[in-house]
């Protein structure tokens, strides 16, 4: 039995299937962790969602910003963007089942000395704090206020975690950390517009995992979201977004021993 963490798929179904063959994935005993962004940009998001749902408890998939954007478009609180490839899902006869399954995915998962998140963790968060916050936000995503919460994802604001945050602002800021975070400034606020490689970050902005005093150091944190970062295995974290949707590669790591597996993107 092995557990594999897989980077951002973004609707690249053929590449995903190629990676699973490369892993010799055995669905009778192996387990999969997906870092989020199952959908959008690639051509077969519908097939990816149907596959993921069929894997049942063999698969843990945390929510990514593109997954939430799909929910926002379906709920008519987020605009469809020029580069979105969500039409097949929105027109599918099983769309309601797929969207409900997606809505109920976690934002944070922790097991056997590893933690899984789509984008990152604010430096002030311990893993225990992140776990509690994730459960709060997940409850919000499953309630009546979910559309407003999802709509906030498309707003590139400089969110900053502060003790004492309450109400909708608390949930919005926590959600931004889980699904949008890449770099933070000295005051702990997100640098919201930056998505390039770390060495090109604006002055005063550091990768979230290199921020002084980061409190989530006790376990390995596996994440995606940052294609310009690529495969990253330093600083107590593993970054797995290797730009499959940009024609580069899809990457997995076997959590049991750290072995890396990679296949070139089929889709362009």
Confidence at residue 156, expressed as pLDDT on a 0 to 100 scale = 80
Confidence at residue 108, expressed as pLDDT on a 0 to 100 scale = 98
Contact 130, 173 (CB under 8 A): no
CA distance 89 to 18: 22
What DSSP line would sit under the chain, residue for residue? Answer: --EEEE---TT-HHHHHHHHHHHT--TTT-EEEE-S--SSSSS-HHHHHHHHHHTGGGEEE---HHHHHHHHHHTTSSPPPTT---HHHHH-TTHHHHHHHHHT--SEEEETTEEEESS---TT--HHHHHHHHHHHHHHHTSTTHHHHHHGGGS----B--TT--HHHHHHHHHHHHHH--EE-TTSBB-TT--S-GGGPPTT-EEGGGSTT-S--SSEEEE---TTT-SEEETTEEE----GGGTSEEEEEETTT--EEEEE----
> What mean pLDDT is reported for the chain?
96
CA distance 48 to 179: 19
Confidence at residue 205, expressed as pLDDT on a 0 to 100 scale = 96
Alpha-carbon dihedral of residues 7, 85, 47, 154, nearest 10 degrees? 50
Closest by CA to 260, choosing from 236, 229, 239, is 239
Q: Which residues contact 116 (CB under 8 A, 6 or more apart)?
A: 5, 33, 35, 60, 62, 108, 109, 110, 221, 222, 223
Residue-wise pLDDT tens digits, 111-141: 999 999 999 999 999 999 999 999 999 999 9
Ranges under pLDDT 50 in the chain? none
Residue-wise pLDDT tens digits, 76-116: 999 999 999 999 999 999 999 999 999 999 999 999 999 99
pTM (predicted TM-score)? 0.97
Confidence at residue 158, expressed as pLDDT on a 0 to 100 scale = 82
Instruction: Write down the architecture of domain 3-264 according to CATH.
Output: 4-Layer Sandwich (3.60)
CA distance 236 to 91: 42
Confidence at residue 255, expressed as pLDDT on a 0 to 100 scale = 97
CA distance 249 to 268: 11
Domain residue spans in the chain? 3-264
């Amino acid at each position: 039995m092995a557990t594999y963490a897989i980077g951002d798929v973004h609707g690249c179904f053929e590449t995903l299937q190629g990676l699973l063959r490369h892993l010799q994935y055995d669905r009778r005993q192996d387990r999969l962790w997906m870092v989020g962004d199952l959908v959008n940009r690639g051509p077969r998001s519908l097939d990816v969602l149907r596959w993921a749902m069929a894997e049942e408890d063999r698969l843990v998939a945390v929510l990514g910003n593109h997954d939430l954007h799909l929910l926002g478009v379906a709920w008519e609180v987020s605009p469809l963007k020029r580069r979105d490839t969500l039409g097949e899902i929105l027109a599918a006869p099983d769309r309601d089942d797929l969207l409900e399954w997606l809505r109920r995915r976690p934002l944070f998962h922790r097991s056997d000395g590893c933690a899984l998140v789509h984008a990152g963790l604010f430096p002030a968060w311990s893993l225990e704090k992140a776990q509690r916050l994730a459960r709060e936000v997940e409850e919000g995503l499953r309630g009546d206020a979910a559309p407003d919460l999802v709509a906030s994802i498309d707003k590139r604001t400089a969110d900053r975690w502060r003790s004492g945050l309450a109400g909708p602002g608390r949930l919005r800021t926590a959600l931004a950390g889980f699904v949008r975070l890449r770099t933070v400034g000295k005051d702990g606020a997100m640098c919201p517009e930056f998505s390039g490689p770390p060495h090109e970050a604006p002055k005063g902005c550091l990768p979230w995992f290199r921020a002084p005093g980061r409190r989530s150091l006790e376990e390995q944190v596996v994440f995606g979201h940052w294609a310009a970062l690529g495969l990253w295995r330093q600083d107590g974290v593993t970054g797995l977004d290797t730009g499959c949707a940009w024609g580069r590669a899809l990457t997995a790591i076997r959590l049991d021993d750290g072995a890396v597996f990679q296949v070139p993107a089929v889709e362009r």
